[in-house]
């Protein structure tokens, strides 16, 4: 999207040791080039040391989830102000793995996104259809329905990010065709503009799902693809940096 700086976000999921996490962060920072904004989202225990490894700046830090409450009796959960406190500026919300593993509904994701905004974090809200929904021709209504339910009203004013991640493309090595990616991104753009007016035109819409160095440049060149959310390939610094070089 013209005038919009692309975002290449690495979702490290539940991978790696402390040593691997800090080494990966250092390698990403050392190799970062002007162009795309880079973001890494390590597992919670590694946020502080990874933040330390990124202290020279140039690579942003994010969480992979947060709770909807600012604090309280929620064993095992992490609050948005805690992420902000340790230097995170982004948080991934509503990833399909959380929707599947933890039963997160659109309403839950919206409440978490509100908490993120209140804490000063930029939410990256994930949406995407299942393979059955894609085959039934329902990808677009599923995605626009998830947007309606998951995005809070303050989303655009805070520069929120949408990640389109077809569930069947995550970690599978399969991707939609480029016309199919472009069609969903155009539909997301239309949805954001109808809900948020002009502010919706400048929000970043990331594609996620089996993005690799070999397919990144052509996906990132599609209209309304303003970056990528990268899982597996974000665990190898050279691959993550090669994807970013494709913007
Ligand atoms: C993801 O889970 O956000 C993702 C895009 O994973 P992968 O790149 O491994 O498909």
Q: What is the pLDDT of residues 25-49, one digit of tens each?
A: 999 999 999 999 999 999 999 999 9
Question: Closest by alpha carbon to 126, among 234, 6, 11?
Answer: 11
What's the rounded mean pLDDT across residues 177-199? 98
Q: Does some domain include residue 182?
A: no
CA distance 206 to 9: 9
Closest-CA residue, ligand 1 atom 6, reads 231
12 a known binding residue? yes
pLDDT band at 191 (very low <50, low <70, confident <90, very high): very high
Question: Closest by alpha carbon to 229, among 47, 103, 41, 23?
Answer: 41
Q: Does some domain include residue 135?
A: yes
Q: Does some domain include residue 131?
A: yes
Closest-CA residue, ligand 1 atom 2, reads 231
Q: Does some domain include residue 240?
A: no
230 lines ligand 1 (CB under 6 A): yes
Q: Does some domain include residue 15?
A: yes
229 lines ligand 1 (CB under 6 A): yes
What's the rounded mean pLDDT across residues 154-177? 97
Say how many C-beta atoms besides its own lie within 10 A of residue 23's C-beta. Answer: 14
| Mean pLDDT score across all residues of the chain | 97
Q: Is 164 helix (H, G, I), strand (E, B) or coil?
A: strand
pLDDT of residue 216: 98
Q: Is 124 helix (H, G, I), strand (E, B) or coil?
A: strand
- Here the tokens at position 196 are 């948020």
- Here the tokens at position 46 are 């590694």
Ligand 1 pocket: which of 9, 10, 11, 166 to mutate (most atoms within 8 A of CB):
11
- Full-prediction pTM beyond 0.95? yes
Q: Does some domain include residue 185?
A: no
For residue 63, the CA-to-ligand 1 centroid distance in Å is 15
pLDDT of residue 166: 98
Q: Does some domain include residue 247?
A: no
- Here the ipTM equals 0.96
Q: Domain count for the chain, please give it.
A: 1
- Four-point Cα dihedral 29, 34, 35, 38, nearest 10: 20
CATH of the domain at 72: 3.20.20.70
For residue 198, the CA-to-ligand 1 centroid distance in Å is 30
CA distance 124 to 126: 6
Closest-CA residue, ligand 1 atom 7, reads 231
11 lines ligand 1 (CB under 6 A): yes
- The parent domain of residue 199 ranges over 7-172+195-228
For residue 163, the CA-to-ligand 1 centroid distance in Å is 11
* Helix, strand, coil percentages in the chain from 3-state DSSP, rounded to 5: 45, 15, 40
128 lines ligand 1 (CB under 6 A): no
Backbone φ and ψ of 239, nearest 5°: -70, -45
Looking at residue 73, the DSSP 8-state letter turns out to be S
Q: Does some domain include residue 242?
A: no
Q: Catalytic residue numbers? A: 95, 165
């Amino acid at each position: 999207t013209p005038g919009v700086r692309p975002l290449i976000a690495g979702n490290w999921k539940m991978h790696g040791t402390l040593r691997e996490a800090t080494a990966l962060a250092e390698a990403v920072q050392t190799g970062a080039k002007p162009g795309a904004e880079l973001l890494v989202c390590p597992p919670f225990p590694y946020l502080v040391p990874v933040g330390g490894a990124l202290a020279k700046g140039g690579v942003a830090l994010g969480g992979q989830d947060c709770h909807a409450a600012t604090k309280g009796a929620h064993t095992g959960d992490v609050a948005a102000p805690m992420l902000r406190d340790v230097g995170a500026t982004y948080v991934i919300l509503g990833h399909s793995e959380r929707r599947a593993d933890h039963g997160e509904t659109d309403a839950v994701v919206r409440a978490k996104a509100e908490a993120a905004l209140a804490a000063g974090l930029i939410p990256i809200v994930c949406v995407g259809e299942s393979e059955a929904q894609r085959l039934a021709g329902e990808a677009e209504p599923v995605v626009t329905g998830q947007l309606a339910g998951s995005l809070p009203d303050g989303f655009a004013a805070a520069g929120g990010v949408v990640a389109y991640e077809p569930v069947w493309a995550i970690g599978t090595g399969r991707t939609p065709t480029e016309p199919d990616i472009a069609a969903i991104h155009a539909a997301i753009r239309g949805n954001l503009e109808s809900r948020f007016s002009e502010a919706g035109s400048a929000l970043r819409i990331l594609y996620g799902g089996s993005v690799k160095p070999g397919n990144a440049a052509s996906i990132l060149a599609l209209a309304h693809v303003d970056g990528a959310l990268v899982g597996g390939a974000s665990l190898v610094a050279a691959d993550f940096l090669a994807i970013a070089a494709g913007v």
